Amino acid sequence: MTITMPRLDRLPAQERGLTIGDLEGLLEFWLQAARVLVLAGSLPDGLPNDTYARYIRLARQYGVKTILDADGEALLLGVEAHPTLLKPNLEEAERLLGRRLGNLPDIVHGA
């Protein structure tokens, strides 16, 4: 099952009339039937950087696996919440680790 909200990222969360509690309530409802939660992309304006981390912890309470594909502070905080799978691109991984990953051994060591 895929739930998407087209163009949701174009307006700050407050202007859409959604609160963080509303979003988490919807997520908790859908997690009851989910097996995997994919958290990807930039967070919409107005949502705190720890949103993905909170969602990862919430999903774990329901036994739902998580895949995280994010960048910056949202990625760092999400990693600390221990998603099932982390999928950064090379540039995101380099920023997360604070070093260049110039070859396959560097990438494997960074993982």
Check residue 45 and give its pLDDT: 76
Pairing of strands 85-86, 36-40: unpaired
Question: Could you tell me the pTM of the whole model?
Answer: 0.75
Nearest to 45 by CA among 9, 71, 17, 5: 9
pLDDT tens digit string along 88-101? 877 887 787 777 87
pLDDT digits 0-9 by tens, 12-35? 555 556 666 777 888 888 899 899
HEC string for the chain? CCCCCCCHHHCCHHHHCCCHHHHHHHHHHHHCCCCEEEEECCCCCCCCCCHHHHHHHHHHHCCCEEEEECCHHHHHHHHHCCCCEECCCHHHHHHHHCCCCCCHHHHHHHC
- pLDDT at residue 11 is higher than 80: no
